[in-house]
Amino acid sequence: MDIALSTYHIKFFMVKSFKTFLKHTAKDFHNQSVNPPVVRASTIIFKSMQHIRKTQVKAQKKPTGGHFDYGRQGTSTTYILQRILTKLEDSYHVFTTPTGFGSVFLAIFSVVRPGDEILVADPVYSPTRILTENYLKEFNVRTVFYNPHDLKTLENNITKKTKLIFVENPGSNTFDFQDLGKIISIAKKHKIFTAIDNTWGTPYYLKPMKLGFDMSIVSATKYYSGHSDVMGGSLAVNKKVFNKVKAAEKITGLRLGPDDAYLITRGLRTLDVRLDKHSENAKKIAAFLSKNKKIQLLYPFKKNSENYRMWKKYYSGASGLMGLKIKSSSAKSVKKFVNSLKLFGYGYSWGGFESLVLHQEFRETGKRKYMNLLKDEHLVRLHIGLEDPKDLIQDIKQALRYLR
């Protein structure tokens, strides 16, 4: 399959605005549809063997995609999504995977080998911690966790065996913002690969590739999709790691399907509109919650805090996900507060149009070296959706009366 870009009207250089690009890219003038169609294929058929060989030669000359001889490599539907995301990330290429965690695995699997060591931010997503700390140990890969607020714990643990620094920013559930530029400087000094989970900010608010990261991960399940009905992941890469990731993707078979790719492409059309509204609503909720003495807001809101300074230094905005550290001697009252919310759904994931809440237990936060949570402190995660913020504030207000 040989994809002609002109058919899908990808205006990579004709518009400068992120917002305009999302609305006008990838129009399908061949089928006369605003969005490219879903193309499903396991077998890619050709007119002749010569046509197959010619396509394979083209694929070698242009390894970033668009020329397929087998369905596992993708179809026009997945390829169009990859090209859109490559533009958004300002990257050399973007690989797409069936889940966000699939992109985490692909990034690590691509560059880490037995005998290597990796440095991982302490407040990473719990499954990332389990993968790096437990499973990789069985393959003779050593993991060291560093303190996001003390990068000496990062640099002092670098050895000749250190292959990768894996960052999640902000930290999962505790929302620790790190000095990303300093991390990149340390990595370049020691010639170490870098990867970042940028799901919270997305390239709308932060472009890690511009900062110098080798790999940037986004769970497309979240804001890219925006409607809580699809799973997927993206892994943006620079030219330095491209061949490593491409080889790993081929051997693992981690490839997003066309139906999910279509839904994610459709969701991307309104990414900017939705994130702007998530951010607007979250700021109003944060302002309300900041007045409560029992609650420490885990969100870039207080201007004199280290987290705010690190957020402001690198991000152009904040998404709708936040944490609350609630001080209460009664765990039951915290659970009562959570269970009394009426407009917040109870469920995992986030990034959809709806508001969500979770009372964080140990299995959600994971075992951490640098997090000191006292017995009378409790973590609650809120995803602020697209509802009327006045209604959300009233809902939170009525539930807060149960806190003791």
For residue 392, the domain's CATH number is: 3.90.1150.10
Say if residue 368 is in the same domain as residue 236. no
pLDDT at position 6 is 44
pLDDT at position 32 is 75
pLDDT at position 1 is 52
The domain boundary, picked from 238, 268, 298, lies at: 268
pTM over 0.85: yes
Half-sphere exposure of 395 (CA within 13 A, CB side): 20
Cβ–Cβ under 8 Å, residues 348 and 318? no
> Residue 22 CA to chain centroid, in angstroms?
18
Say if residue 227 is in the same domain as residue 302. no
Say how many C-beta atoms besides its own lie within 10 A of residue 366's C-beta. 19
The domain boundary, picked from 222, 241, 268, lies at: 268
Say if residue 127 is in the same domain as residue 35. yes
pLDDT at position 266 is 96
Positions of the chain with pLDDT lower than 50, given as ranges: 4-7, 12
Give the CATH number for residue 188: 3.40.640.10
Say if residue 162 is in the same domain as residue 57. yes
Say if residue 239 is in the same domain as residue 317. no
Q: How far apart are CA 59 and CA 238, in angstroms?
A: 19
Say if residue 278 is in the same domain as residue 141. no
Say if residue 307 is in the same domain as residue 392. yes
pLDDT at position 4 is 45
Say if residue 163 is in the same domain as residue 288. no
Say if residue 109 is in the same domain as residue 214. yes
Q: Which of 356, 362, 394 is nearest to 378 (CA)?
A: 362
Q: Which of 383, 382, 294, 396 is nearest to 337 (CA)?
A: 396
Say if residue 249 is in the same domain as residue 114. yes
Say if residue 153 is in the same domain as residue 109. yes
Say if residue 147 is in the same domain as residue 83. yes
The domain boundary, picked from 234, 268, 302, lies at: 268
Q: How many domains does the chain contain in total?
A: 2
**Residue 164 lies in domain:** 5-268
